[in-house]
Amino acid sequence: MTETVTTDDGVRLWADSSGDGVPLVLCHGGPGLWDMFPDVADMVDDLATVVRWDQRGCGRSERCAGPWTSERFVADLEAVRRHFALDRMVLLGHSWGAQLALSYALAHPERVAALVYVSGVGIDPVSSWHGPYEKNLLARLGEVPERLARWRELKDWGPERAVLNWSVEFEDRERAIEHAGRMADPWFEINSECSKALNTETKQTWGTPELYEACRALDLPVLIVDGERDIRPRSAVDSLERALPQVRRVILPNAGHLPWIEDPKGFREAVATALRW
């Protein structure tokens, strides 16, 4: 069921709910992208009431002038929780959305029954992992030289460049373009302003002593889920795992950055564990 969530500053957010059971709220990646979780909702809607939403200024949500800050996005997620009258929820975030979900849990731990942190990059400085990520991205694109050449030729982040870029995220190289094409259907304009601002903020605020200390004090269960073949170094997530007092980690060996696509059985089993906490 599609609904409109109105934030405290009047911005309208697209949201959708399905299924029945434990409240499970999903935070999509980006920043600047949109919800790409219909497969996840379908695979667990017999276990959970699944809430999906597009972050402000992105996808099906209202285009707006920001502000593009983690604090504002945490407030938007709180508006989603209030709209659906959820006392406590299991919160699942993917990639940038994992960072957002962690930020929300640090701000509102009493509202989070459990956190599922999928394909994130930990809490160390961005410089600790971004160089190897860029190297791996170019190496995977270079497996098909025509794709790398076309990717470099395209300057605008339209669907063609996005599909080429997203194709590196899958361990199954034969189906990589197919999987990436599904991510771009339907296509919504990437919010580059949002992406740039939030990535800049992360470079300035991630890796601070205050963040490590806050994670060490986070008193709720956290499940870290990784695809072992993610081109972002999985060692980056070790910093978060070391800091958290209640943490389990599941590594899916034959999956990349979107593990529910390449190992749906293993991913469902992992999420089901968190829903039972």
* pTM summary value: 0.97
- Residue 274: predicted pLDDT: 96
One-letter amino acid at 232 equals R
Spell out the domain ranges in the chain.
Answer: 2-126+191-275
Cβ(25)–Cβ(92) below 8 Å: yes
- Residue 62: predicted pLDDT: 98
pLDDT tens-digit readout, 152-188: 999 999 999 999 999 999 999 999 999 999 999 999 9
257 forms beta bridges with: none
- Residue 110: predicted pLDDT: 98
- Residue 51: predicted pLDDT: 98
One-letter amino acid at 249 equals R
pLDDT tens-digit readout, 208-225: 999 999 999 999 999 999
pLDDT tens-digit readout, 74-111: 999 999 999 999 999 999 999 999 999 999 999 999 99
pLDDT tens-digit readout, 18-41: 999 999 999 999 999 999 999 999
Mean pLDDT of 250-266: 98
Give, in words, the CATH class of 2-126+191-275.
alpha beta
Share of the chain above pLDDT 70, in %: 100
- Residue 262: predicted pLDDT: 98
